Amino acid sequence: MSTDRAASPASGARTVVGVNKFAGAGDELYEPLRVDPQIEADQCQRLAVLPAEHDNQAVTRALSDLRRGAAGTDCVLPPMRDALALRATGGEIAHVLRDVWGVYQPQETL
């Protein structure tokens, strides 16, 4: 960066939003979100029950249906909805879709 270009915001010759124009009036206070400890405990308790409710055989069948739909021309939303209703995870569903469709690799263009 040339010296003229670096000095121009300070002199006002070049507008840099947030530096020499429309800058805030100082440090803005950031107030992080505080979660009530009882809400956290309740959620942990609900999540602890999930493995017991997870029917692995039913989820495996639902993911197989999703795989068949993704490999063909069927709409994948109904089998995806069914898998989610059986408590399949988003990661499990994404893994099936990546296996069938692959991962997008953008072409480099110069």
Tokens (6 digits) for 87: 């408590």
Query: 70 and 100 in contact (C-beta within 8 Å)?
Result: yes
Reduce the secondary structure of the chain to three states and give it as a string: CCHHHHHHHHHCCCCCECCCECCCCCCCCCCCCCCCHHHHHHHHHHHHHHHHHCCHHHHHHHHHHHHHHHHCCCCCHHHHHHHHHCCCCHHHHHHHHHHHHCCCCCCCCC
pLDDT at 43: 92
Q: What percent of the chain has pLDDT over 70?
A: 85
Neighbours of 95 (CB within 10 A): 12
Q: Among 29, 9, 28, which Cα is nearest to 17's? A: 9
- In tens, the pLDDT along 46-72 reads 888 877 778 899 999 999 999 999 999
pTM for the whole structure:
0.57
Distance from C-alpha of 54 to C-alpha of 47, rounded to nearest angstrom: 11
Please write the tens of the pLDDT for every residue from 15-35. Answer: 888 777 777 766 677 788 888
